[in-house]
Amino acid sequence: MSSIVTISNFGYAYPTLKLNEPSLWILRDINLEIEDGEFVSIMGATGVGKTTLCLALNGIVPQSTGGTVRGQILVDGRDTKRTPVAELARRVGLVFQDPETQFLSMSVEAEIAFGLETLGVDRPEMRERITWALDLVGMRGFEKRSPFQLSGGQKQRVAIAAILAMLPRVLVLDEPTAALDPLGKVEFFHVLRTLRAQRNMTILLVEQDSEPIAEFSNRVVVLHDGMVALADTPARVFAQIEKMEEFGLSVPQVTELAHCLTRRLGTPYHFIRLDEAYDSLKQQLGYSA
């Protein structure tokens, strides 16, 4: 597999408010490679620069924000500091925490068509892409509805459909479930499961809930103090419970259970998902059914 995203010694500081005020580096020295088709989840305490990194992936940082940059980010071989944001939008789709901040139109159909119009897609292909994207996220039949009148989960699915219709190579999701109720979260992760099954799209998910990260991710990247503190499989990252606590982050509850059982019984337990916990405990206890 080849890298679709390469981040090399990347650092960023937002513009200062006062002349001669020293720069405050939000990101200090990020080094990371993401392979084509990989699902990478990014975790980190508030203020470590997760959203800033997302914005840097499609060029909004620094092209629209200004500030000071060092190092480089390449997406599909293009330098995000120099490639126009409109061109990067063909390759990097960004979905924010609040989907309403992205809505510009009064119907779901028009909302998805807006991005396609900016790309110069002709009408027949536009209709095909709208239908395909709505089918993929389970929102077919909502074309004429106002996106502002949908539930939280439905709004997020429309926001994803609008991005998917532009056929990006990388989908970046910045804490997309933070404002959703439990049903909305279930709907959202169902869409991610469908995307993984049908498109094998490269996905970067900023998320604090460790359970879905354990279920979906190939790798977990933990940001701390503006740098990559951990980057490994979910099993290896979540096994470092003390370090995750130090960073102010949680691990799956079943991983905490495994840690407690290991300390109490002296038998090593390792699981990060409920199905793994069930199979492991059933085997340890000698149940065959």
Domain of residue 175, CATH code = 3.40.50.300
Cα separation, 275 vs 151, in Å, equals 30
User: Which residues does 215 contact at the CB level (< 8 Å), separation at least 6?
Assistant: 189, 273
Cα separation, 38 vs 35, in Å, equals 5
271 assigned to some structural domain: no
Residues 69 and 22 in one domain: yes
Mean pLDDT by 10 residues, the chain (289 residues): 92 88 91 96 96 96 95 97 93 90 92 92 95 92 95 91 93 89 84 83 94 94 97 96 95 91 84 85 68
Whether the Cβ atoms of residue 186 and residue 107 lie closer than 8 Å to each other: no
Stated pTM of the model: 0.90
79 assigned to some structural domain: yes
At residue 8, what is the residue type?
S
Q: From the DSSP assignment, how many helices (H) and strands (E) are in the chain?
A: 12, 10
Q: Identify the three-state secondary structure at position 5.
A: strand
Structure tokens of 150? 């949908």
pLDDT, one tens digit per residue, over 143-155 is 999 999 999 889 9
174 assigned to some structural domain: yes
Whether the Cβ atoms of residue 1 and residue 37 lie closer than 8 Å to each other: yes
Q: How many domains does the chain have?
A: 2
15 assigned to some structural domain: yes
Q: Looking at residue 77, what is its pLDDT?
A: 95
Residues 42 and 147 in one domain: no
Q: Looking at residue 230, what is its pLDDT?
A: 98
CB neighbourhood size of 5 (10 A):
24
281 assigned to some structural domain: no
Helix (H) or strand (E) holding 34: strand 25-35
Q: Which residue has the tokens 């038998």?
A: 267
Q: Are strands 227-232 and 92-95 parallel, antiparallel or unpaired?
A: unpaired
Q: Looking at residue 287, what is its pLDDT?
A: 63
261 assigned to some structural domain: no
- C-alpha distances out from residue 277 to 48, 145, 203, 252, 259, Å: 32, 43, 26, 11, 12
Residues 115 and 228 in one domain: no
Q: Provide the domain limits for residue 113.
A: 100-167
Backbone angles phi, psi at 181, to 5 degrees: -80, 170
CB neighbourhood size of 59 (10 A):
24
pLDDT, one tens digit per residue, over 155-207 is 999 999 999 999 999 999 999 888 788 888 888 888 888 888 888 889 999 99
Nearest-CA neighbor of 145 among 106, 112, 179? 106
Residues 76 and 41 in one domain: yes
Q: Looking at residue 1, what is its pLDDT?
A: 60
Residues 58 and 180 in one domain: yes
Nearest-CA neighbor of 207 among 250, 164, 236? 250
